[in-house]
Structure 1
Amino acid sequence: MQVTETLNEGLKRGYAITVTASELDEKVMEKLVEAQPDIEMKGFRKGKVPLPLLKRQFGQRLLGEVMQESIDGAMSQHFEDSGDRPALQPQVKMTNEDWKEGDDVQVEMTYEALPQIPEVDLSTITLEKMVVKADEESVNEALESLAENAQDFEAKDGAAEDGDQVVFDFVGKVDDEAFEGGSAEDYPLVLGSGSFIPGFEEQLVGVTAGEEKAVTVTFPEEYGAAHLAGKEAVFDCTVKEVKSPKAAEINDELAKKFGAEDLEALKGQIKERLEAEYAGASRSVLKRKLLDALDDVVSFDLPPSLLDAEAKQIAHQLWHEENPDHEGHDHPEIEPTEEHVKLAERRVRLGLLLAELGQKAEVEVSDAEMTQAIMTQARQYPGQERQFFEFVQQNPQMQQQLRAPIFEDKVVDYVFELAQISEKDVTKDELKEAVEALEEDEA
């Protein structure tokens, strides 16, 4: 077998691979010898069929298998000897298209090699971490928000307004006949909540306790119950009470509603939650600072195919963000701009660097971490969680999409441990500004 270099420009590589006919014939015979003891054929005892007869019977079938194994073996040996790692699957094609049995096999292999990633002394990277403590004002704001969400309603005189709760009996009829599931007693409805058929709640604005009112609505065409879809219905309503919203008092009773022993315990929980949110936002800012620092200290050639693919993906994604009404992909090809290419260069460079750092540090994504990631995604498809799990199990590309961000964050945490990180106390507004600036840069 011969392997001859035909291309070496930048990261582009090309090789001519020749597998001689005698090598192929030898490998075919090896397979026949290995299989001979188990072969039975009419007129011969098991294991006694002559090799020439076996070759005539099975040789041509084995030849294709041997050719593929020989080429795959030559490629594997080449990458082991050269140390090259292809950026994408190598392109392989047979160059002697008029090949016939008895000829040498000639193959051309081309690929783009991943670059040599320079060593980075991570201990020289200096970063400043923003630290925010949850102050009393923030805790009180959160308490007030909880109290609003835990609002009660108290009886009021006068007409119902948007946001009020109306307690009423109703009977729904289509063509003057009551329909199943269309009646209730003492039903509490918050006007403006959108929990009833469109147009229903608006007609109860202005009613008073003791009033009777007929509400006429039309069920949506896509309504779940087919026998009601698109039908006009009249609901005979009897108003029992009209209640206005009242924010819950901030006391121990409110705390117990949220699972805390008392108000002080609830305040402690709120403080912990707020500081966890601040820490998450701070980490995002710190990660961006780290990536900026790494981008400044490393430089190496990038595989053109990876760069082109990333630039096209960025251009495509941004086009859809700018054209949200166009959900499909039946649009003209979107050519990347210089800005797209520049962003792609950064992403590919940092992606390759983080992959290298993670490999050297033996960073791995555990099965438990993958399961958690899948569960998180599956929650977006209520009622179809099982189907989503099966989809991911059968889709390696989807698995990689879920694994990649976990791997990246673990590598980033590894780098944080080696970098020099100082802390700076800031206000929540300063942290908010840093996060907003981060989002603007990413947009």
Structure 2
Amino acid sequence: MTVTQTLNEGLKRGYTITVSAAELDKTVTDKLLEAQPDVEIKGFRKGKVPLAMLRKQFGQRMLGEAMQDAIDAKMKAHFDATGDRPALQPEVKMQNGESWKEGQDVVVDISYDVLPPIPEVDASKITLEKLIVKADDAAIEEAVKNLAASSQSFEDRKKGSKAKDGDQIVIDFKGSVDGEEFPGGSAEDYPLVLGSNSFIPGFEAQLVGAKAGDEVTVNVTFPENYGAKHLAGKAAVFACTVKAVKEPKAAEIDDELAKKFGAEDLAALKAQVATSLESEYKGASRAVMKRALLDQLDGMVSFDLPQALVDAEAGQIAHQLWHEENPDVHDHNHGHMEPTEEHKKLAERRVRLGLLLAEIGRKADVQVTDQEMTQAVLQAARQYPGQERAFFEFIQKNAQMQQQLRAPIFEDKVVDFIVAGAKVTEKDVSKEDLQAAVEKLDEL
């Protein structure tokens, strides 16, 4: 088996691996001899099947395995010897793939971008500011009022009152398309909060101003992306009877409200709210400090980037931004999104910082624990109520999804490691100042 270098330009590498026909034949024979004791074929006792018959029956399969094993082994030996770390999975092409016949040498071309040497970073030269916000009485009172509003009840308005946005109306309704009622289009005594946008677009607005006892005909069109395909894009008519109009009534801010949220009394609820607010402030503050850290790191280091990684990241950015601009498109049956220069510049920053953080984490032996991964999977599984078990099984079998969950945990731990060695000063600021700093992140 021979390995010949064919390309060495910047970070690009290319090699040709040749596996001789004799090597392949020997590997196949070794595999057949290893399997022979366990093989049983009609007419022969177990372990007594002749090698020639084994080769005839299993030789082609063994030949394919031998090829793959030989190439994999040589690539591993090559990477061990050179110290190369491919940025992405190497591209492997068999020179004489379709025309290759048994008895010929196997010649394979491999190409890849190597990870570049990454300079050391002196964390002590990094200066950061940690914004500190305390949960003041005004913020706590506002949060408690919001809790009370979320626990609102509804009381009947005076007889003859017209329904307003925010009111709850109780209705009977029957829906039809082309004069035919459809399954799921009818209900009785249905409580609907106007302005909640819980019904088809345009439905609730036509009931504003209605009074108890009114008969209202609501005309709407189902959205093109409606879940029930037989109704998508169809015009529908709903015959509605308004049976009650009720106004919202915020819950009293007292010990009873506190008990609804699991607190012993109002004072305990306010303490819980204060803790929750300060946790929220800390999360926002950390996001601001992390951006400042990444900005400094980006200015501290410079090294060649694997073009394949940059191109892949730029393509992903262009694709993601297109979907954000076209939220109604949920599939990927669309044309190629050509990255702009802005996309490419952002991709270069992300790749550079990603490689830098990965290298710092590798040298510092930063590890994501099994417990942290389990916690991440549990959190992700909450997005699929009732399907948690299936989600867990999916994650267990999908290495790519595991990496997607592991990556942000690893990055945050590396950030914490760098921050621990940096010069960090604390600064007390208002909630409004912190909010402004967070909003600025989206502008950068």
TM-score tier (shorter): 0.7 to 0.9
Unaligned runs of 5+ in 2: none
Q: Distance in 1 between matches of 2:407 and 2:175?
A: 56
Note the alpha carbon deviations across 1:246-266, whole angstroms, 9 max, x for none. Answer: 444433343333332232222
- The Cα of 1:136 is off from its aligned counterpart by 1.6
For residues 429 and 22 of structure 1, do their structure 2 counterparts lie closer, same or farther at Cα, with a shift above 3 Å needed?
A: same
Percent identical among aligned pairs is 60
Amino acid at match of 1:131: I
Q: Distance in 2 between matches of 1:405 and 1:113?
A: 23
Q: Could you tell me which residue of structure 2 aligns to residue 149 of structure 1?
A: 150
8 Å contact kept, 1:192–1:202: no
- The Cα of 1:352 is off from its aligned counterpart by 1.3
Note the alpha carbon deviations across 1:297-348, whole angstroms, 9 max, x for none. Answer: 2221111111111112212222333344555544443322221111111101
Q: Distance in 1 between matches of 2:396 and 2:140?
A: 43
For residues 85 and 218 of structure 1, do their structure 2 counterparts lie closer, same or farther at Cα, with a shift above 3 Å needed?
A: same
Q: More displaced, 98-107 or 280-289?
A: 98-107
Q: Distance in 2 between matches of 1:353 and 1:27?
A: 42
The structure number with the bigger radius of gyration is: 1
Amino acid at match of 2:141: N
Note the alpha carbon deviations across 1:117-175, whole angstroms, 9 max, x for none. Answer: 22222233221111111112212222333333334556664624426867979798999
Of 373, 377, 380, 1:374 maps to 377
For residues 163 and 118 of structure 1, do their structure 2 counterparts lie closer, same or farther at Cα, with a shift above 3 Å needed?
A: same
- Residue 3 of structure 1: SS of its match in structure 2? strand
Q: Could you tell me which residue of structure 1 aligns to residue 21 of structure 2?
A: 21
Q: Could you tell me which residue of structure 1 aligns to residue 78 of structure 2?
A: 78
For residues 280 and 27 of structure 1, do their structure 2 counterparts lie closer, same or farther at Cα, with a shift above 3 Å needed?
A: same
Q: Could you tell me which residue of structure 1 aligns to residue 11 of structure 2?
A: 11
Q: Distance in 2 between matches of 1:345 and 1:223?
A: 39
Aligned-residue CA RMSD in angstroms?
A: 4.0
For residues 172 and 336 of structure 1, do their structure 2 counterparts lie closer, same or farther at Cα, with a shift above 3 Å needed?
A: closer
TM-score by length of 1: 0.80
Q: Distance in 2 between matches of 1:167 and 1:338?
A: 53
Note the alpha carbon deviations across 1:56-86, whole angstroms, 9 max, x for none. Answer: 7765653333232212111110011111111
Unaligned runs of 5+ in 1: none
Matched, 1:342 2:373: no
Q: Could you tell me which residue of structure 2 aligns to residue 359 of structure 1?
A: 362
8 Å contact kept, 1:200–1:215: no
Q: Could you tell me which residue of structure 2 aligns to residue 256 of structure 1?
A: 259
Q: Distance in 2 between matches of 1:78 and 1:405?
A: 31
Q: Distance in 2 between matches of 1:333 and 1:219?
A: 35
Q: More displaced, 2-11 or 157-166?
A: 157-166
Amino acid at match of 1:121: D
8 Å contact kept, 1:191–1:205: no
For residues 162 and 74 of structure 1, do their structure 2 counterparts lie closer, same or farther at Cα, with a shift above 3 Å needed?
A: same
8 Å contact kept, 2:165–2:208: no
Of 422, 438, 442, 1:439 maps to 442
Q: Distance in 2 between matches of 1:28 and 1:420?
A: 61
Of 275, 278, 286, 1:283 maps to 286
Following superposition of structure 1 onto structure 2, how do residues 14-163 of structure 1 map, counting pairs within 5 Å? Answer: 14-38=14-38, 62-96=62-96, 99-152=100-153, 157=158, 159-162=161-164
Q: More displaced, 342-351 or 214-223?
A: 214-223
Q: Could you tell me which residue of structure 2 aligns to residue 317 of structure 1?
A: 320
- Residue 87 of structure 1: SS of its match in structure 2? coil
- The Cα of 1:394 is off from its aligned counterpart by 3.7
Q: Distance in 1 between matches of 2:100 and 2:292?
A: 57
- The Cα of 1:403 is off from its aligned counterpart by 2.4
8 Å contact kept, 1:173–1:182: no
8 Å contact kept, 2:315–2:337: yes
Amino acid at match of 1:162: K
For residues 131 and 13 of structure 1, do their structure 2 counterparts lie closer, same or farther at Cα, with a shift above 3 Å needed?
A: same
Q: Distance in 2 between matches of 1:21 and 1:365?
A: 45
- Residue 64 of structure 1: SS of its match in structure 2? helix
For residues 397 and 215 of structure 1, do their structure 2 counterparts lie closer, same or farther at Cα, with a shift above 3 Å needed?
A: same
